[in-house]
Amino acid sequence: MIKVRTAAPRRIYAFFFSGLMILAAVALSVAARAQSYNHVSVATNAEPDTLDMLTSVFPPISYVILRNTSEMLWDYNNDGTVRRTVADWQVSPDGKAITFQIHPGVRFHSGDELVAEDVSFSFNRMMANTPSFKRHGRLVEKIEVLDKYSVRFLFRQPDVTFFDGNQIFLGSKAYHDRVGEKEFMTHPSGIGPYKITAYSPGQSIDVTAFDGYYGPKPKVKSARFYIVKDDETRVTKLRAGEADIITNTPYPEVAELENAGYHLVKFPANPSVSIVFDLLTPQSPWHKLQVREAIAHAIDTNAIIKGLFHGVPYRYPMLAPGEAGYNPDLRNFRYDPALAKELLVEAGYPNGFKMPLYYSATSFYGFQQAAEAVSLYLNAIGIQCELHNQEAVRGLQLARRAQTDHSIELVSVGGLPIANTGLTSLDMLTIAFRSSAPSVVSHFDQVDAGIERALSELDPAKRATIIRGVVDFLYNQVAVIKLWDSVSVYAMKKGIDYTPIAHRMPFMLLKNVTIAAKS
């Protein structure tokens, strides 16, 4: 009998084996997609000046990354309003006492529980180390630890800006006492959704989701923040697939990236980029009002916004519509170089003068470009600008020296929290124009007195009237010249989305990152 060999079993085995391979490939593909959701790479130009938010000299830069690892006694909703997180509170009828009840069971990365003593420790540590924090802390008369979870703030006078501007980050006193100052600074323990796992200064910071986080668990499990201070290099990393998200996207690249299919998120944010004058030095030419007016009329700000920045940022004379104290009658200074020259003649400078112009090219986008453009416009009316690039922290240090050393002549293209900051208008005035603030280089009695009245005024309508008077005075004095109001732009790969907290500082919250499922 002749046996006929059939290929059917072999075909069945081959089909079965290939099916297994397909299933394995699908499984690997799913696993790969899941893994990609677990890790995100971000390229940012902002490197913290310290890993301990309780000692940051320049919090706006440190916020960008460290808001993921360090959180406050309260937080903000995505619309910018105040949100209760780790504590509840009651404000006394006279506004001079706030009592916080901390929720039991909130843990630091070190495993220590958040207790009332940590609030007092954190407040005092920030008061001692963070100059900008003192603007609110000065109104706190004392802090009383009532019990393990209760702490009371007592104020010398009401502070209606307390929750909007006073960001009390939290650190563990028990951890500090256990490990010492050096370890606390280099390996900080926060209550944020992420903890720092590696830091290469000038290069990158790695964070990993904290399993003991008190809030909803973030979907992104780990991330690497690349420190990339050059604007174009950040864009190159995005295009090359080396970064999933970039912050501080250069305005000229916005339209190109959108056309190339990248997802961009834009929102108005701090700061308002302005020419800031040191008015504490009476011998300087810009101490005269006519000179400041001349400078305001010499600069074609609209051309800078449209030409250099492709129309991305906004421009308001002072406050933005809807903010307390907003005056719709104020107008941006018009570009009129002939008038600028006339004003210089009236001020006694027919041939112009030399003026230092400082800027920081590493904090937010556009400062260097703006300073260079301003220099060209002012050169046309006889003002020779000497450009100086410096790190933001050094700029703050120079401003603080200028408060007492009146031989320093200082003009800068700087960032001020004026419009669309998420802060109250009163908090803006306290930070940017109150003479006792750590980096303010002007002193107007009318401004200080108006701020004092507004801080204690509990009626919002009356407070807005006071604020409007102060803002109008500053506008008429040309205390600063606003160039534009920032729009923070995040660019990211298609399928990735980011929800910033409206109007607040342009930080990068990983817990607000979502990644669309792939089909």
User: Does residue 109 sit in the same domain as residue 225?
Assistant: no
* Comparison of pLDDT for 2 and 205, the residue scoring more: 205
pLDDT of residue 91: 96
| pLDDT score of 11 more than 90 | no
Alpha carbons 130 and 403: distance in angstroms, whole number: 17
pLDDT band at 12 (very low <50, low <70, confident <90, very high): very low
Would you say residue 98 lies in a domain? yes
Q: How many domains does the chain have?
A: 3
Using a 10 angstrom Cβ sphere, with 0-12 exposed, 13-18 middle and 19 or more buried, the burial of residue 23 is exposed
- Separation CA 403–CA 280 (nearest Å): 7
Q: What are the φ/ψ torsions at residue 437 (nearest 5 degrees)?
A: -65, 150
Rounded Cα distance, 25 and 438, in Å? 60
Q: Per-residue pLDDT for 267 more than 70?
A: yes
Alpha helices in 100-230 (DSSP H): 116-129, 134-137, 162-165, 173-179, 181-186
Q: Are residues 314 and 250 in the same domain?
A: no
- Nearest-angstrom CA–CA distance, 187 and 335: 52
Give yes or no for a cis peptide into 271 (omega within 30° of 0): yes
Give the H or E element holding residue 298: helix 289-298
CA distances from 470 to 221, 337, 344, 437, 507 (A): 47, 28, 27, 16, 30
177: left (phi over 0), alpha (psi -120 to 50) or beta: alpha
- Which residue shows structure tokens 């170089």? 337
Displacement of CA 159 from its chain's centroid (Å): 22
Last residue of a domain, one of 187, 214, 235: 187
Residue of higher predicted confidence among 506 and 451: 451
The tokens describing 496, both together, are: 């990735």
Low-confidence winner among 137-151, 204-218, 337-351, 502-516 (lowest mean pLDDT) = 502-516
Is the model's pLDDT at 483 over the cut of 70?
Answer: yes
Of all residues in the chain, what percent carry a pLDDT higher than 70?
Answer: 91
Confidence of residue 26 (pLDDT cuts 50, 70, 90): very low
Co-location of 297 and 404 in the same domain = yes
Residue 503 pLDDT = 61
Is there a single domain that holds both residue 257 and residue 322?
A: no
**CATH code where residue 328 lies:** 3.10.105.10
Mean pLDDT of 243-264: 96
Strands 383-389 vs 353-359: parallel, antiparallel or unpaired: parallel
The overall average pLDDT reported for the chain is 89
Q: Report the b/e string of 302-330 with b at 16+ CB within 10 A.
A: eebbeebbeebbebbbbbbeebbbbeeee
Take residue 426 and report the two structure tokens written for it: 């009163």
Domain membership of residue 15 (yes or no) is no
In our burial notation (b when 16+ CB lie closer than 10 A, e otherwise), range 74-103 reads: bbbeeebeeeebbbebeeeeebbbbbbebe
Last residue of a domain, one of 147, 162, 187: 187
Kindly list the distances between the CA atom of residue 29 and the CA atoms of 135, 378, 450, 511, in Å, as whole numbers in the listed order: 53, 59, 63, 25
Whether the Cβ atoms of residue 83 and residue 77 lie closer than 8 Å to each other: yes
pLDDT at 509: 94
Question: Domain span at residue 129?
Answer: 71-187
Q: In this predicted structure, which of 97-111, 210-224, 393-407, 458-472 has the lowest mean pLDDT?
A: 393-407
Give the model's pLDDT for residue 519.
41
Q: Is residue 64 part of a domain?
A: no
- C-alpha span between 366 and 250 (Å, rounded): 8
Percentage of the chain modeled with pLDDT above 90 = 70
Tell me: do 235 and 274 sit in the same domain: no
Same domain, 456 and 499: no
Q: Parallel, antiparallel, or unpaired: how do β-strands 513-515 and 353-359 relate?
A: unpaired
What tokens does 335 get? Answer: 């570009």
pLDDT(152) > 60: yes
Q: Is residue 376 part of a domain?
A: yes
Residue 377, classed as helix, strand or coil, is: helix
pLDDT top residue among 517 and 206: 206
For the domain that residue 207 is a member of, what is the CATH number?
Answer: 3.40.190.10
**Distance between CA 54 and CA 133 in Å, rounded?**
10
7 domain residue, yes or no: no
Cα maximum dimension of the chain: 123
Whether residues 407 and 319 share a domain: the answer is yes
Spatial separation of the C-alpha atoms in residues 417 and 439, rounded to whole Å: 13
Q: What pLDDT is attached to residue 271?
A: 86
β-strand 140-147 against 97-102: which pairing, if any? unpaired
Listed in order, strand segments (DSSP E) in 278-326 are none
Q: State the Cα–Cα distance between residues 153 and 410, nearest whole angstrom.
A: 38
Residues 154 and 234 in one domain: no
Angle at 415 between CA 410 and CA 418, to 5 degrees: 115
Helix (H) / strand (E) element for 342: namely: helix 337-346
Assess whether 279 and 329 both reside in one domain.
yes
pLDDT reported for residue 132: 77
AA identity, residue 315: R
Distances (CA, A) of 347 to 350, 408, 443, 445: 8, 21, 21, 24
H/E element holding 473?
A: helix 460-476
Provide the sign of the torsion angle of the four alpha carbons 43, 416, 277, 136, taken in this order. negative
15 compared with 157, residue with greater pLDDT: 157
Would you say residue 14 lies in a domain? no
Judgement on whether residues 220 and 165 belong to the same structural domain of the protein: no
Residues 192, 213 contacting (CB under 8 angstroms):
yes
Same domain, 461 and 517: no
Do both 311 and 436 map to the same domain?
yes
Q: What pLDDT is attached to residue 518?
A: 59
Instruction: Tell me the β-bridge partners of 492.
Output: 245, 263
Beta bridge mates, 44: 227
Which run of H or of E encompasses 152? strand 150-155
pLDDT tens digit string along 88-101?
999 999 999 999 99
The 10 Å Cβ neighbour count of residue 453 is: 15
Run of H or E including 339: helix 337-346
Q: Render pLDDT for 318-336 as a digit per residue (tens, 0 to 9).
A: 999 999 999 999 999 999 9
Per mean pLDDT, which range of 171-175, 256-260, 303-307, 452-456 is the poorest? 452-456
Q: Using pLDDT thresholds of 50, 70 and 90, give the confidence band for residue 458.
A: confident
- Please state whether 202 falls in left (phi above 0), alpha (psi between -120 and 50) or beta: left
Phi then psi for 163, rounded to 5 degrees? -80, -25
The confidence score (pLDDT) of residue 161 equals 81
